[in-house]
Amino acid sequence: VQLQASGGGLVQAGDSLRLSCTYSGGRFQNYGIGWFRQAPGQERVFVAAVAWNGGSKFYSDSVGGRFTISKHSEGNTVYLQMNSLKPEDTAVYYCAVPSRVWVLPGRRESAYNYWGQGTQVTVSS
């Protein structure tokens, strides 16, 4: 399994970005996806997750109402739409695949087996 995260960049506060996580090497339709982020000097933290069928989703309190995660049955890409970006959203964003199939993955890193390389998001004030 390989994951490729992309779509990061430098934006101003209030702008939007859409991150993509492209999945290869496995049965994409069986797995949920999680997004995490790591700010400079801080631990990596959970951002959002979507279930294997794209139905159930949940978000961290810090991004709820601003970010939307989506997974469609067609294709092999999961998106993280980020609106109303704030400087505190600045981080490297990672997507990850959990070890269990057919679930809504949780917020713990230990639940995830495979990680993408990360994409940098920088939000200026």
**Mean of pLDDT values over 103-116:** 93
Distance between CA atoms of 31 and 29, rounded to whole angstroms? 6
Q: What angle do CA 109, 11, 83 make, to 5 degrees?
A: 60
* Higher pLDDT, residue 6 or 102: 6
> Across all residues in the chain, what is the average pLDDT?
95
- Say what the pLDDT of residue 26 is: 83
Distance between CA atoms of 125 and 54, rounded to whole angstroms? 33
Terminal CA-to-CA distance of the chain, rounded, Å? Answer: 37
Share of the chain above pLDDT 90, in %: 85
**Mean of pLDDT values over 25-43:** 93
- Say what the pLDDT of residue 27 is: 87
pLDDT band at 49 (very low <50, low <70, confident <90, very high): very high
- Say what the pLDDT of residue 117 is: 93
* Higher pLDDT, residue 2 or 73: 2
- Say what the pLDDT of residue 72 is: 81
